[in-house]
Amino acid sequence: MKVLAACDPLPRPECTDYETVRRAIEFISNTYRSQPSLSEVAEAVSLSPADLEALFRRWSGLTPKAFLQAVTIDKARELLGQGASLLDAAFDVGLSGPSRLHDLFVRHEAMSPGLYKAKGEGIDLAHGFVDSPFGRALVVASDRGLAYIGFSEGGEAGDALALEDMRRRWPRARFRQDEAAVAPYAARAFDPAEWARERPLRVVMIGSDFEIRVWQTLLSIPVGGATTYSRIAESIGAPKAARAVGAAVGRNPISFVVPCHRVIGKSGALTGYHWGLSRKRAMLGWEAGVLARA
């Protein structure tokens, strides 16, 4: 049976939409206080209003307006104050609930402290680039499971930066380019139809003891949910370590699967993201669409 990466070798439309979606998100993020109209957003990305709405529905299952309401900073503040999940914003715009959704169930393990201290020496890692709903992704796997997901901004320079970021984490590991080896992991990570508890996605975490505790906590945040750095610090028994938690979240090596994008600031602001704030907004909005379709 043919195994596909996150998208087919001839990418489906939703896999090539991200660049336009990213530009739309950036425009919306810069102008959301004035609540730009569909026509204004469409003009900013050189599309007709009908084409922009069709693109958003194809990519996330949401209209541009619903997407904006799902990820706006004001909405995040409101949700945080009420102790609710991001999905509750979806109900405000007429979306259905998640009754048939199975969260991505991840079976995780940590590399030994010795391997971490040895900076990956003795580890064999396969890597390859795939198309994803959030742009070009770099996926890395060991014989024990998925070890890394990062993103490239495209082109040789973007790919080189993504590879450099990845190699810096395990400078002594042995790397080989092997798209076939990472394709099944990419498909499992980015295709909601593959998110099933009976077939958990295996991930292997390589980090300090503190980092791994933080990353394990991230895995408990459900699709459509959100938490704060301070709440994570409290949950791991280090209530005064919110800043250290933030640093560990920023070093998360398995983007999207280990959902650091679901962590927001205490004020409700979406705060930064290693792979760009527009991509973080895209992930949150896309997940709202996944819930809406469930």
In this structure, what token pair is assigned to residue 130? 């795939």
DSSP notation for 126-185: EEEEEEETTEEEEEEEETTEEEEEEEE-SHHHHHHHHHHHHHHHSTTSEEEE-HHHHHHH
Sheet holding 145-152, edge to edge: 106-110, 201-205, 145-152, 135-142, 124-132, 174-177
Half-sphere exposure of 206 (CA within 13 A, CB side): 28
Annotation says 260 is catalytic? yes
- Whole-angstrom Cα Rg for the chain: 19
B/e letters for 25-58, b = 16+ CB within 10 Å, e = fewer, are bbbbbeebeeebebeebbebbebeeeebbebbbe
Longest dimension (CA), the chain: 56
Select which of 162, 260, 264, 270 is catalytic.
Answer: 260
Residue 197: Cβ within 10 Å count: 11
DSSP-derived secondary structure letter, 100: T
Active site residues: 260
